[in-house]
Chains A and B, each alone.
Chain A
Amino acid sequence: MSLLGSNSSLLSTLVYVILFVGSTFLFLFWGPRMQVFTVLREVKTNVEKLNVLRDKSKKEALDYLVVNCKAPKEIQQRLDQTLEYFTIMPVDMDPNGIVGKIEHVVRLQDDRMRDEIKRMAPQADPVQVSVAQNILEVATSLNQIFKIVRHFYIQGQKTKSYYILIQLQMIMPMIIQEADALVSAIDAFKDAEPIGDGLGPMVAGKFMYGKEKITIERETVWSKAEFKGRNLIVLKAEGPMGTVGRPHIGVEKLLSDPNQKVDALIMVDAALKLEGENTGEIAEGIGAAIGGIGVEKFRIEKAAVGRDIPMYAVVVKQSLIDAISVMKKEIAEASDKVVAVVQRIIEEKTNEGDTILIIGVGNTLGVAQ
């Protein structure tokens, strides 16, 4: 028995040693490869999900153009080509005049997309064209996201590079969240419902309602109003189209008008919140509250600084998904509070007889004036 027992213990020791040494060598030489396979499988699942989201956005764009804009069904190929449009940003080695160059390129891109939609659906009205443009922008973004992620996935697969794949795996949850947000925005665009980003135009619209509207620039309007002895000039994108207008050019034109001296500038916009902040929270600040590529901000700042006009900002916090999806109740209800904040700033910071320029910044889809 004892001999058998000693044999058995020897055998089990041998098995343990083999297992230990074997697994050490296995993990030493095959460990990274096993990790690569695990990461590859996870990334592949996400790439497939991105592909589904991209196809969904393409189908939604096609359906909107055919059903709502009465485009012929044969536009599929043209739509695919439109989604592949690219924009080459100007060279910035010599930054002098870069803002003008970027604006030129971005405007061309915008015009080209719009012309393409008009060509595909000549019967579409201006609101439908703007909605189709918004949906196409979503589809183009998803197409780009999918292609870039797929590129790195295939590169990681070919090179078996753990470091390429691990970077992709790390940012994948944020990419998927953003892609989901973009897809959910399509529902709001299709029905021309106001989106969270429309908060600024909604506030400006409250001041403009019932007043005469004057077009100052493409898809940008302004009105005169009055509040406690102050003259208000209120500017916003022309709704209910899905557009942000050209508020920077509107501001430049209004500020350079020799017949009216503007004493203060108040900008109202939606702002992306940080985790932990509440949706619909109002914050006040100083500076030009406008997002985008930076061209609009640059030109508004230049126009205001040149005339020594103080810039006040009021923003309403929201997440990315809230900003591009149908407006939430908390955001819509914040608009009345923002009006009160703007009125308080006017009372505290300006005097009777002063002229104040109020700008409602954002996409004015589903919000008129």
Chain B
Amino acid sequence: MAQMFPSIGEKRPKMPVFTIEECPSCGTKTKRAFKIGDYVYKDGGECPKCHAKTVISMIYCELVQPVK
């Protein structure tokens, strides 16, 4: 019965979307704002630590709390 009425969820506020670039060599993760054309497993920029080619490992939205 409950499966017929799953949680629809709360109305979400507009949240900023981030792209995570991960370096396959050293594992460094870089977070930046999402750009149109980004997709998961697309080649990213250069790793800031080891200068290897990064890959986009995640794209997600997150509620950012304003800094007090």
Contacts and interface: CB of A to CB of B under 8 A. Distances in A.
Interface of A: 174, 177-178, 180-181, 184, 187, 191-194, 198, 202, 205, 209, 239-240, 272-275, 277, 318-322, 325-329, 331-333, 335, 366-369
24 contacts: A177-B9, A180-B11, A181-B8, A181-B9, A191-B36, A194-B39, A194-B40, A198-B40, A273-B6, A273-B7, A274-B7, A319-B10, A321-B10, A321-B11, A326-B17, A327-B59, A327-B60, A329-B60, A331-B60, A333-B60, A366-B40, A367-B41, A368-B41, A368-B42
B7 A320 contact: yes
Given A209-B41, A327-B60, A366-B40, 15 more contacts: A174-B8, A184-B12, A192-B39, A193-B61, A209-B55, A239-B39, A272-B3, A274-B7, A318-B9, A319-B6, A319-B10, A320-B9, A321-B9, A321-B11, A332-B60
Contact of B17 (A193, A335, A369): A193
B53 to A, nearest CB: 12
Nearest to A187: B14
Interface in B43-68: 55, 58-62
A187 B12 CA distance: 12
Contacts of B39: 192, 194, 239-240, 366-368
A273 B6 CA distance: 6
B7 A193 contact: no
Chain B, interface residues (CB within 8 Å), range: 20 to 34
Nearest to A180: B11
B18 to A, nearest CB: 8
B42 A319 contact: no
A184 B41 contact: no
A174 B4 CA distance: 12
A329 B12 contact: no
A244 B8 CA distance: 21
Contacts of B58: 332-333, 335
Nearest to B2: A274
A193 B12 contact: no
B59 A193 contact: yes
Max chain A C-beta neighbours (<10 A), residue from B6, B17, B55: B6
A329 B60 CA distance: 5
Nearest to B61: A326
Contacts of B2: 274
Interface string B12-42: 1011010010000000000000101011111
A24 B62 CA distance: 56
A193 B15 CA distance: 13
A274 B7 CA distance: 5
A184 B9 CA distance: 12
Nearest to A127: B39
What are the 7 closest A-B residue pairs judged by CB atoms, nearest first? A319-B9, A321-B9, A272-B6, A240-B39, A332-B60, A177-B8, A368-B41
A258 B3 CA distance: 38
Given A192-B36, A193-B59, A329-B60, A369 B41 contact: yes
A319 B11 CA distance: 11
A326 B60 contact: yes
A187 B34 CA distance: 13
B8 A178 contact: yes
Nearest to A179: B8
A181 B9 CA distance: 8
A184 B10 CA distance: 11
A321 B11 CA distance: 8
Contacts of B14: 187
B59 A366 contact: yes
Max chain B C-beta neighbours (<10 A), residue from A178, A187, A198: A187
Given A193-B59, A329-B62, A275 B41 contact: no
